[in-house]
Amino acid sequence: RTVYLNGNYLPETEARVSIFDRGFLMADGVYEVVSVLDGKLLDFDGHMARLKRSLNELSMKNPLSDEEYLDAHRRLVRDNDITDGLLYLQVTRGNPGDRDFAFPPEDTQPTVVMFTQSKPGLADNAGAAKGIRVVTVEDQRWRRRDIKTVQLLFPSLAKMEAKARGVDDAWLVEDGFVTEGTSNNVYIIKDGKIITRELSSDILHGITRAAVLRYAREAQMAVEERSFTVAEAQAADEAFYTSASGFVTPVVEVDGARLGGGTPGPIATRLREIYLEEARKAAI
């Protein structure tokens, strides 16, 4: 695989980053994941806009222009022959040459890494056809979840707990209300209404979320942005999650309670179709 490191395209075995890199020592970095379908990038502009916001919130400079990010994405997709898959992009505060809590001098260059992951059949995965099962776990992440940082240890622990309990993912809960999934935004549907938590620093502002809510409103579906409890989720008619890699994926069980008879509901299924169709059309 060819990967990108600070302006260079290298075989993955030759791409090296310093042990003093702030990404490695302090998880001081941000990332994005863009989906690739039929060799084209989905929601690229949205992901770049969020990247710039994340960098800005952490007072990190943006090392590349939008054209440079786009060129690099396209080159990696081409060189690695990606039809369906993901493009991972990470920017860290770079290598100050030592370990210190204070930020390094202004002229320290950020470290930029990009690589592809080939996922043949990404748009027709089994989870989407059958729906996934989730358990709830207390949300113990920091309070700036709107910044897409590489501090992913808690979501990783929650995902492992879900697996240990025999299900696919965890929904995180704070003060009795669901925040989001370990790596996705979550929704319930009751009496035809799509309910999802409002945007704040409690959740990541999903790029797929923004697109799906726009398509839902355009299709005259009712959308309510508010917090919901685990009990409400368990009593819902349907549920689903959104993310760049999972698009719209139905959720059929929450803490052992089956929704809609345990099979994907009509609205989640329809939204997945609409999202995939529209996102493919707009892909670049």
Would you please indicate which residues are annotated as catalytic (active-site) residues?
148
Site residues for ligand PLP, window 55-114 (CB under 6 A)? none
CA–CA distance from 278 to each of 42, 43, 70, 247 (Å)? Answer: 10, 10, 20, 12
Figure out which of the listed residues 80, 116, 149, 184 binds ligand PLP, where binding follows CB under 6 A: 184
Q: Which is nearer to ligand PLP, 243 or 269 (CB)?
A: 243
Please check whether residue 169 is in contact with residue 181, taking contact to mean a CB–CB distance below 8 angstroms: yes
Q: Report phi then psi at 98, rounded to 5.
A: -165, 175
CA–CA distance from 10 to each of 5, 14, 70, 109, 116 (Å)? Answer: 7, 6, 18, 19, 13
272 near ligand PLP, rule: CB under 6 A: no
Shortest Å distance, C-beta 202 to ligand PLP: 10
- Please give the span between the terminal C-alpha atoms of the chain, in angstroms, as a whole number: 22
Q: Which is nearer to ligand PLP, 28 or 94 (CB)?
A: 28
Shortest Å distance, C-beta 93 to ligand PLP: 20
Shortest Å distance, C-beta 121 to ligand PLP: 19
Figure out which of the listed residues 139, 180, 202, 238 binds ligand PLP, where binding follows CB under 6 A: 180
204 near ligand PLP, rule: CB under 6 A: yes
Site residues for ligand PLP, window 5-64 (CB under 6 A)? 33
The residue range among 54-62, 73-81, 217-225, 242-250 that interacts with ligand PLP, by the rule CB under 6 A, is: 242-250
Q: What is the residue type of 140?
A: Q
89: number of CA atoms within 13 Å, CB side? 28
Q: Which is nearer to ligand PLP, 133 or 148 (CB)?
A: 148
Figure out which of the listed residues 54, 95, 227, 242 binds ligand PLP, where binding follows CB under 6 A: 242
Shortest Å distance, C-beta 90 to ligand PLP: 13
Figure out which of the listed residues 243, 265, 267, 279 binds ligand PLP, where binding follows CB under 6 A: 243
Figure out which of the listed residues 80, 92, 116, 208 binds ligand PLP, where binding follows CB under 6 A: 208
The residue range among 74-82, 119-127, 239-247, 267-275 that interacts with ligand PLP, by the rule CB under 6 A, is: 239-247
Figure out which of the listed residues 3, 209, 238, 269 binds ligand PLP, where binding follows CB under 6 A: 209
Q: Which is nearer to ligand PLP, 95 or 274 (CB)?
A: 274
Residues that bind ligand PLP (CB under 6 A): 33, 180, 183-185, 204, 206-209, 242-244
